[in-house]
Amino acid sequence: MKKIKVGVAGYGTIGQRLADGVALQEDMELVGIADLAPTLSIQALRERDMVGAGGVKYDLYLVDGADPLAFAKKDIPVAGSFEDLCKKVDIMLDSAPGGVGAKNKENYYEKYGVKAVFQGGEQNSVADVFFHGYANYEKGVGADYLKLTSCNTTGLIRTVDCLDREIGIEKVAITIIRRVADPGDYHRGLTNALQMDKAPTHQAVDLMTIMPHVDATGILVHTPVTHGHIITVLATAKDGRKITKEEALEAFRKHPRIRVVSLEEGFKGNASFFKYARDLGNRRGDMYEIGLWEDSIVESGNDIMYAINIPQESVTIPETMDAIRAATKMQMTREEGTAATNQYLGIGKFKDLK
């Protein structure tokens, strides 16, 4: 089988994990990664002889403006320019800083006929399709430019789409309790303060773009923590139908990318998921599934309310793999596309345990 050739532009928090994700897909080939400076993450790669997930070699290409000497001084091997990388790949995962992706498209992707999947920082207009692996896979099939939903929206939609397919959803109201920085971030932070955003929060608006038949709104509050967002969701079914706790729980339990957990088991909050992922031995302490607390589910009249945990660094990786599959027509349906991603990332195996 011919493997799809994939590049990753930007080796930051998301880019590293995209590269790892691709390295684990046995039907894809990670051609290389591209970045601007010898960051700590690249120095770490160098310390491991440029070998990443699954024992795969990560060849490094330099984007425009990079100083080759800075890399040479640290003995970091370079495989070529970003343009060189573009010539070799079928599709680029663009996790460059916001705005750079649009320029990359103009300068390189269009020129070399490279498809691209952009991350949440780009404008929606950069892409033909605003994509989510479970909610609108088919829209992405064969598309040239896809933009992925952001971390919160990706996790949120998993649950709303899940309920929608089982029950039919017409309205959601969300409260996002957002982690303000990632572990190791020194360029942003918040100290002993909660911070309000102007409502409605963009994640609700984005959900409506992906699922236009659902009315969504919500409020976002930033909190001074690093290990995972928590979102509370109030979902209203179509046609005045009541949603019971039992049927919601049953639906969530079947979804491969949702881990239903409980306080009793020891999942006390967002930090428990991070600890659990480290204890699992997961690379970087990452988790691809979102968490959903069984003991958070409550009925509010006919509506259902629940709380989920979003591992912000890694949650979008599976849906980005889905996006590659859709764009390159590796699989034509959501069932096949997501199943292939799940298999290679080891998602959903925990379901058999319980």
Site for a copy of itself in 192-221 (CB under 8 A): 192-196, 198-200, 215, 217-219, 221
Alpha-carbon distance values, 312 to 98, 102, 179, 282 (Å): 17, 23, 8, 15
For residue 332, state whether it binds a copy of itself (rule: CB under 8 A): no
CA-CA distance, 174 to 157, in Å (whole number)?
11
> What values do phi and psi take at 155, rounded to 5?
-70, -45
For residue 265, state whether it binds a copy of itself (rule: CB under 8 A): yes
Please list every residue from 112 through 141 that binds a copy of itself, using CB under 8 A. Answer: none
Shortest distance (Å) from residue 194 CB to a copy of itself: 5
236/320 with CB nearer a copy of itself: 236
Among the residue ranges 101-109, 139-147, 152-160, 232-240, the one whose residues contact a copy of itself (CB under 8 A): 232-240
Residue 131 near residue 326, CB atoms below 8 Å? yes
Closest CA to 129 of 204, 201, 208, 210: 210
The single residue among 98, 103, 280, 335 that binds a copy of itself, judged by CB under 8 A, is 280
127/177 with CB nearer a copy of itself: 177
For residue 69, state whether it binds a copy of itself (rule: CB under 8 A): no
Structure tokens of 195? 């911070």
The single residue among 47, 65, 69, 239 that binds a copy of itself, judged by CB under 8 A, is 47
# residues near a copy of itself by CB under 8 A: 86
For residue 186, state whether it binds a copy of itself (rule: CB under 8 A): yes
The single residue among 208, 249, 271, 339 that binds a copy of itself, judged by CB under 8 A, is 271
CA-CA distance, 312 to 9, in Å (whole number)?
19
The single residue among 56, 128, 284, 332 that binds a copy of itself, judged by CB under 8 A, is 284
The single residue among 209, 283, 332, 343 that binds a copy of itself, judged by CB under 8 A, is 283
Beta-strand relationship, 60-62 and 28-35: parallel
For residue 39, state whether it binds a copy of itself (rule: CB under 8 A): yes
For residue 293, state whether it binds a copy of itself (rule: CB under 8 A): yes
Shortest distance (Å) from residue 125 CB to a copy of itself: 25
Closest CA to 17 of 273, 285, 346, 334: 285
Check if 151 is active-site: yes
Helix or strand run (H / E) with residue 30: strand 28-35
Concatenate the DSSP letters of all residues of 125-190 into one string: GG-SEEE-TTTSHHHHTT-SEEEE--HHHHHHHHHHHHHHHHT-EEEEEEEEEEE-S-TT--S---
Among 151, 172, 204, 310, the active-site one is 151
For residue 353, state whether it binds a copy of itself (rule: CB under 8 A): yes
39/123 with CB nearer a copy of itself: 39
For residue 183, state whether it binds a copy of itself (rule: CB under 8 A): yes
**Sign of the dihedral defined by the CA atoms of residues 75, 80, 83, 86, in that order:** negative
Closest CA to 269 of 175, 151, 177: 177
Please list every residue from 142 through 171 that binds a copy of itself, using CB under 8 A. Answer: 171
136/342 with CB nearer a copy of itself: 342
Task: Give the active site residues.
Answer: 151
